[in-house]
Structure 1
């Protein structure tokens, strides 16, 4: 999915059969949490705590 120019897209998916939510930040960093508030706080705190996919960490 491509965001309209100047807009950021955040994605939150539920992991079926669990209480876990999996979030993807507009930068491509990913994080999972059971607490939806904690997940959104992580995403909106960009870039603090983010690790990009493929960055070796």
Structure 2
């Protein structure tokens, strides 16, 4: 999904599981089984992003 300001939010489903893997436009990554939890995490940027979560690569 692309926001009106141009940021790209990516959520992928991990095949064979009930797990969603999200990547925020800032590079932070998060996994969750609940789609609502995932979108709340994404849209809470940057307040919802814990410092100890890994950053994704920028490619």
TM-score (normalizing by structure 1): 0.77
Which runs of 5 or more structure 2 residues have no equivalent in the other structure? none
* Cα offset, 1:52, TM superposition: 5.3
Q: How many residues are paired up?
A: 50
TM-score (normalizing by structure 2): 0.74
* Cα offset, 1:49, TM superposition: 3.2
List 4+ stretches of structure 1 deviating above 6 A: none
Which runs of 5 or more structure 1 residues have no equivalent in the other structure? none
CA RMSD of aligned residues (A): 1.9
Q: Which has the larger radius of gyration?
A: 1
